[in-house]
Amino acid sequence: MKLRTPLIVGSCGLTSSIENIQLMEKNGAGAVVLKSVFEEEIHLLLNKKIREASDDRLLYYENSETYDYLDLHTRSEELDEYLQFIRDTKKDVLIPVIASINCVTDSEWTAFAINIQEAGADALEINMFFNPAGFRKADYETVAIQIIENLLNSVTIPVSVKLSSYYSNLGYTIQKISKTGVQGIVLFNRFYSVDFDLDKLTVTSSDLYSSPNEYLKSLRWIALLSDKIDCSLAASGGVYTGEAALKQVVAGADAVQIVSALYRNKIEYLNSILAEMEEWLEKKGFNSINQIKGKLSYGNVENPEIFERMQFMKYYGGIF
């Protein structure tokens, strides 16, 4: 997909209103990702596997990371509303509208993806959620590939996969996923963590929004992978400034997703991020953002080892 700017508003509640999406378009968004529909809801719609879904205690456990998402979508009628929302949004904005499905199993829910395509979505992002605390005996990498392949066989619109970083052999897994034929990979999905209230000895949740230094995680992986995979890459997580967005492009990202920064600073803030990027490009004498893409990717730096070392013992050794 060709985007007018590399900034995409990531999947979240802000993209659940047409007025907001219009404002995002006005303030320079290249595309928007709608709030996810959860696989469990699709099961409800299809009236299949209901028992299976509700038996998955971790998905419904009140402290699960998915709880806030699920809470927002409990009625199956909302699926029809979702499709109607896509149709309505497509009438009112010109930027690409990317629908989002959150899924955990390889199942019949792919039929819903076809409905999404028919409703006019420009693309589909799948938010692949395998709870790393699930302790279920499952080869998540294989399940992920099956889900993607099923989906690619069902729809013709571009499909991107939003991944968590909780895979064994992450680089290899991402590379393998890129070879399935998906058009894009989004690094990374963010799960907000539980916290404890020591006074009440209860479990609480931590901040729903990311913090600005979280961009470093996707920066590293995008730099490592951008010249080694067969699809587009979008960075997600902790991008609050034009500087952070530019760094992701320099690492090799084709696009950058932004969510928390807009919750904290309002949708219009997107324009400031874009302005900062344009100003920097102009100051440095670049005519196009494509000129800086991947300049510091693994393939282009003199000492790529710096990306590979998990522990910089050389430096830590001097400290301790």
Binding site for ligand FMN (CB under 6 A): 10-13, 35-36, 69, 100, 102, 127, 162, 189-190, 208-210, 214, 236-239, 258-261, 263
What's the min distance (Å) between Cβ of 164 and ligand FMN? 10
What's the min distance (Å) between Cβ of 65 and ligand FMN? 10
What is the Rg, in whole angstroms, of the alpha carbon atoms belonging to the chain? Answer: 20
Cβ distance to ligand FMN smaller for residue 194 or 306: 194
What's the min distance (Å) between Cβ of 132 and ligand FMN? 16
Cβ distance to ligand FMN smaller for residue 14 or 53: 14
Cβ distance to ligand FMN smaller for residue 233 or 298: 233
What's the min distance (Å) between Cβ of 315 and ligand FMN? 27
| Burial status of residue 91 (CB atoms within 10 A of its CB: 0-12, 13-18, 19 or more) | exposed
Residues 6+ apart with CB under 8 A from 249: 6, 256, 289, 292, 293
What's the min distance (Å) between Cβ of 39 and ligand FMN? 12
Cβ distance to ligand FMN smaller for residue 231 or 273: 273
What's the min distance (Å) between Cβ of 282 and ligand FMN? 25
Question: How many H-runs (helices) and E-runs (strands) does the chain carry?
Answer: 15, 11
CA distance linking residue 239 with residue 215, whole number of Å: 6
Q: Name all contacts of 308-314 with Cβ < 8 Å and 24+ positions apart.
A: 308/224
Cβ distance to ligand FMN smaller for residue 86 or 259: 259
DSSP states of 127-141: EE---TT------HH
Q: What residue has token string 């900062």? A: 276
**Bridge partners of residue 124, in order along the sequence:** 99, 159
Cβ distance to ligand FMN smaller for residue 45 or 245: 245
Coil vs helix vs strand at 161: strand
